[in-house]
Amino acid sequence: MPLGYDKPLYLMAFDHRGSFEQGLFGVTPPVSAEVHANITAAKEIIYDAHVQALAQGAPASACGVLVDEEFGASIALRAKKEGVPLAMPVEKSGQDEFEFEYGAEFGTHIEEFDPTFVKVLVRYNPEGDATVNRRQTAQLGTLSRWLRKRDRKFLFELLVPPTTAQLDRFEGHQREYDKALRPSLVVEVIRAMQEADVEPDIWKIEGLDDRAACEAVVAQARSGGREGVNCIVLGRGADEAQVIEWLKIGAAVDGFDGFAVGRTLWQGALKDYLAGTLTRSQAVDEITRRYLEVIAAYRGAEPGGASS
């Protein structure tokens, strides 16, 4: 099966684990059965918002969910049953170095849930620890070959955190690093992965601040006969205005065809719900509203507007 994916993809991302355990519930793993059930219930609010967005006109073929097995197994099974594009992670949560959540048994878990996309989150800076980078690349190559052999789609979420030396070049200003250096590092990482036989169908990329940077990333992602490979924009937990700005920049570039946004959509509503200032129904409505706004912003910025 050729590399790539030929449809837009608007992912509601809530495969987060540490963000729920520590950020929303103030606990550290291992969590109690009660907290586990409460996290699952919170994720069900997000999924209900996704369903409500579809009922209000969001494009069903494009709108998918990214949810984990640990707290979202029942949601993943429901999404699969309902024909919703489903992405599931295989990485251990909250690690600086990529590790399989279920070790050598990763394939058994993939086959059990049969997601549309198998997702990894990888923190990789080409100027970072070379030994760690080699270990990560080897693991990712194992996964990529396993997926390709079985005609399964591979979604690669790439984070390129600055090294201390890189950040020092910009006097500690993350945003300056993001604008001036990170885009070229993203291209370098994609090239290194391709050379190591790590072949995603979709690259999930941190928001980029100009069109030229997006075009350079697409050019590398699609190099060497990989014309079907796409990129999508990730939200990185930024405020809605910043996320929409990144989405508009990406949407205007051929080769970017969607997004995966998470905390920006649901974190505030869930905090208010857990604090008792929103009802469950109101939390669903708020997440739905934000999701629809992000979809509209993305589609409106595409060539030809929302007609695609």
Report the pLDDT value the prediction gives residue 45, as an integer from 0 to 100.
98
Report the pLDDT value the prediction gives residue 307, as an integer from 0 to 100.
40
- Cβ atoms of 220 and 187 within 8 Å: the answer is yes
Residue 44, pLDDT > 70, answer yes
Q: By mean pLDDT, which of 208-212, 233-237, 288-292 is the weakest? A: 233-237
Residue 197, pLDDT > 70, answer yes
Mean pLDDT across 173-186: 97
Tell me the pLDDT of the chain averaged across its residues: 96
Does the domain at residues 9-307 carry the CATH identifier 3.90.45.10? no
Report the pLDDT value the prediction gives residue 308, as an integer from 0 to 100.
39
Report the pLDDT value the prediction gives residue 306, as an integer from 0 to 100.
52
Mean pLDDT across 64-89: 98
Q: What are phi and psi of 197, to 5 degrees?
A: 70, 30
Report the pLDDT value the prediction gives residue 1, as an integer from 0 to 100.
76
Mean pLDDT across 55-68: 98
Report the pLDDT value the prediction gives residue 235, as an integer from 0 to 100.
87
Give 134-145 pLDDT, tens digit per residue: 999 999 999 999
Give 281-297 pLDDT, tens digit per residue: 999 999 999 999 999 99
Mean pLDDT across 113-129: 98
Residues in the chain: 308
Closest of 162, 203, 204, 156 to residue 181, by C-alpha: 162
Residue spans per domain, the chain: 9-307
Report the pLDDT value the prediction gives residue 304, as an integer from 0 to 100.
76
